[in-house]
Amino acid sequence: MMTDRATTFASVKTLIEPFNAKGVELTENTTFAGDLEWDSLTVMDFVASIEDEFDIVITMNQQAEIETVGQLVDAVQELK
């Protein structure tokens, strides 16, 4: 059985896919700016989809600290 965090990670990966134009392999250490090469508009669209999916709000301060997929999963876990 998957842990709650593993379930969250799987959901986050699914939400990233439409934004993953380069087909980057998604791991805990994948970075949004570096690996995925997202601009601020993409980040805003993606954050909105995360907030809708998990029914949470990610503040601008929190967003500024989140650089990797793993950090995002941890943040979602804390907020939900």
Instruction: Express each pLDDT in 41-79 by its tens digit.
Output: 999 999 999 999 999 999 999 999 999 999 999 999 999
Q: Supply the pTM of this predicted model.
A: 0.92
pLDDT of residue 3: 86
Helices 40-54 and 69-79, axial angle in degrees (round to 10): 40
Domains of the chain: 4-79 (1.10.1200.10)
Q: Count of CB atoms within 10 A of residue 52's CB?
A: 10
pLDDT of residue 37: 96
Structure tokens at 47: 């954050």
Nearest to 6 by CA among 29, 36, 31, 28: 28
Whether pLDDT at 1 is above 80: no
Position 2 confidence tier, pLDDT thresholds 50, 70, 90: confident
